[in-house]
Amino acid sequence: MTAAAALIDWPLEAEDDTPLALWTAQEIAAATGGKASVAFAVGGVAFDSREVMEGDLFLALRGESADGHRFVTGAFGKGAAAAVVEHSVLHPHVLVDDTTAALDALGRAARARLAPEARVIGVTGSAGKTSVKEALFAALDRGSRGRAHRSVKSYNNHVGVPLSLARMPARTQFGVFEMGMNHAGELSALTQLVRPHVAIVTTIAPAHIGHFSGEEAIADAKGEIFEGLEPGGIAIIPADSPHYERLRAKAAQHAGVIIAFGRAAHADVRLLDVVPAPGGGSLVTADLGGFGEGGGKLCYTVAQPGDHWVINSLAVMAAVRAVGGDLGAAGLALAEMAGLAGRGARHVVAADGGDGSGTALVIDESYNANPASMAVTLAGLGATPAARRIAVLGAMRELGADEDRYHAELAGPVLAAGIAHAVLVGPEMAALAAALGKSEGAALAAPLQVDHVQTSAEAADVLARIGIAGGDAILVKGSNSVGLGALVDLLGSGRWPDKER
């Protein structure tokens, strides 16, 4: 057979008939019940005109503070190929009655058009959901040679989830979606959109507890993710959580299989051993249990430091196994996983003096904070080799009436971490300052030095006074609304001021 004949006889696969364009005008109109002005095809979807890329579909959503229709012209100026709008515009568009409803409809259509063998994973939890989502994507994308899809950034709410679905190509083999919530009932709606085959709860902690009666209510709200499971779906839950039985009972109402991960003896995917890995991170040995095919023990490296990453890796491995993914590829992905911006990214910055190394380490945890994540991150700082440890800790928000207690209880983890200087940011941090022995305006007669300030800019001033020296490890962590991301940017900019003389 000649080469040309061999190409002609090349075996066809089902996906060969799948369109390469993300959406056509006809498909968008059919999904949304709208009317297309002309024929067109788009390669992406965006609702923020600042994020529009060449060939995107721009959704002109009406928000509380802005109407997306005001930005249609700007979106086309950035290269949008078409728009979904509620009134006609002088550009290719699909006309609908309600653009927000159209986004939901487009998300549902994207989920519905996946091949029957494709698998979708939903991830939620009080902490770690973005990290687990990113690790799962890295593992499944490597194993499927680029046929995985996930929600980007922290697009995990009533707009971000349908947008992430709408961006999913029809050829996707694995979809991974993060789902968040601040109130009861929110996850129930999101999981019905995603319809996961596998649903993961990473952990339960008092995040957003100001909107709930207690941690039990948070566990119930997180358990709503199981309501959208496909028939016979798999629930993955934390075996070490004090709310394990509560989560398991909820999962049993909707899941065909329940898999627990953690250290506990009843865990199906159980941590057997963990030792420090050369160059940082952890070398993990886990018992994968008997679910699925294979079973037995698995040894792999987790590049990111911290016990929370060790435990989260068990959830990742459980999910990869549950969807028939490649465990070897998952191990490689975890071994190469870099820290995420705002969620553990580590930056080496130039620094004079100190131990003479010429560099300092900045640990960026500036995106979010709750009591559980604060404790594990401080423990990670304590385990990080450093000549001097500095912690810039921003307030934890949405903790309700007990916020003073939650902040004050961080004193133990701060002291255990061997921190030389703590910079506490925000009025809520007064309780921690007092617990560490420093009332406002009083001197602290202890090795740990404490400064309590109100803003990120004031924290920068304190660091300028302290001076960043060679061998320092600086942790920056707080709720995103505190604005400590700007401090991380300043630390990494190379424009950091010298210590005041």
Strand-pair partners of 453: 425
The CB density around residue 296, as the number of other CB atoms within 10 Å, is 9
Residue ranges for the binding site for ATP? 125-131
CATH number of 114-336: 3.40.1190.10
Helix runs in 174-261, H state only: 186-194, 215-222, 244-252
Asked whether 92 and 82 are in contact (CB, 8 A), the reply is yes
The single-letter code of the amino acid at 383 is: A
DSSP string, 116-155: TT-EEEEEE-SSSHHHHHHHHHHHHHHHHTS-EEE--TT-
When the candidates are 3.90.1150.10, 3.40.50.2300, 3.40.50.360, 3.40.1390.10, the CATH number that belongs to 19-99 is 3.40.1390.10
Strand-pair partners of 393: 424, 477
Residue ranges for the binding site? 125-131
In terms of DSSP bridges, do strands 359-365 and 472-477 run parallel, antiparallel, or are they unpaired?
parallel
Each residue's pLDDT expressed in tens, for the chain with a length of 501 residues:
555 555 455 455 555 555 578 999 999 999 999 999 999 999 999 999 999 999 999 999 998 788 999 999 999 999 999 999 999 999 999 999 999 999 999 999 999 999 999 999 999 998 888 899 999 999 999 989 899 999 887 788 889 999 999 999 999 999 999 998 777 788 999 999 999 999 999 998 765 555 656 788 889 989 999 999 999 999 999 999 999 999 999 999 999 999 999 999 999 999 999 998 887 789 999 999 865 455 689 999 999 888 889 999 999 999 999 999 999 999 999 999 887 777 788 889 999 999 999 999 999 999 888 888 899 889 989 989 999 999 999 999 888 888 999 899 999 999 999 999 999 999 999 999 999 985 443 444 447 999 999 999 999 999 999 999 999 999 999 988 899 999 999 988 766 555 543
Who's near 182: CB < 8 A, 6+ residues apart? 208, 211, 398
The single-letter code of the amino acid at 63 is: G
* For the chain, domain boundaries: 19-99, 114-336, 345-491
CA separation for the pair 198, 120 (Å, rounded): 7
**Tokens representing residue 106 in the block:** 């487009």
Q: Are 19-99 and 345-491 in the same CATH fold?
A: no
CATH number of 345-491: 3.90.190.20
- Smallest Cα–Cα separation from 221: which of 176, 258, 188, 265? 188
